[in-house]
Amino acid sequence: MSWYTMVTRYSDCGDLMLLWFGLFGCFGFGAAMPAFCFYFGTMIDGVAGVSSDSTATAAGGTPAGGGMGDLKE
């Protein structure tokens, strides 16, 4: 016996409608949260003027991915 058969055996039309609206809402919210996080994260980075180069420089590194080989004596 499948899960759907067990859930819908004694349900009427209203119960099925609530079940499907709830499932679609759950999937929609689950897909929307990562999208909102990515969108607002990109927007905040744009307002702050943050890029990967400026982040490396602010952390004390070299901007273009240099390293010990770029040090001059």
The Cα 31–Cα 69 span in angstroms is 44
Answer yes or no: is 38 within a domain: yes
Mean pLDDT by 10 residues, the chain (73 residues): 90 94 93 89 80 56 54 54
**Domain span at residue 22?**
12-47
* pLDDT at residue 56 in the model: 52
Answer yes or no: is 60 within a domain: no
Domain count, the chain: 1
Answer yes or no: is 19 within a domain: yes
Answer yes or no: is 31 within a domain: yes
Tokens 């709830």 correspond to what residue? Answer: 22
